Amino acid sequence: MIEKEQVIEAIGTYMEEKDLTLAEIKVNKANNIKVFFSANGRPVTIDDCVALSRHIEGRLDRDKEDFSLMVSSAGGLDTEK
């Protein structure tokens, strides 16, 4: 199972470099990963989500453990159950 800490480590300094703020990470036993973040002083763009998703995917090994990944603005937390 992928741990929340692994995802936080995968993000590393990327968030700082891109001036993004992590709001929440959810990882369940089925390796469904949800990452919610905000951009400092501006709205989150789809390009921000795509870039962060690719960054995370490049640092987790699908050969070891398969996973699904959803990356969204922190505004997505309002509707998340």
Q: What DSSP character marks residue 60? A: S
What's the pLDDT tens digit per position in 22-77?
999 999 999 999 999 999 999 999 999 999 999 999 999 999 999 999 999 998 67
Q: All domains of the chain, ordered by start, with CATH? A: 4-76 (3.30.300.20)
* 19: helix, strand or coil: coil
What is the structure's pLDDT at 75?
86
- Nearest to 32, CA basis, from 74, 66, 81: 66
Q: Which DSSP state fits 24?
A: E
Tell whether pTM > 0.85.
yes
| 1, two tokens | 């199972």
| Phi-psi map region of 40: left, alpha, beta (phi>0 left; psi -120 to 50 alpha) | beta
Residue 80 has pLDDT above 80, yes or no: no
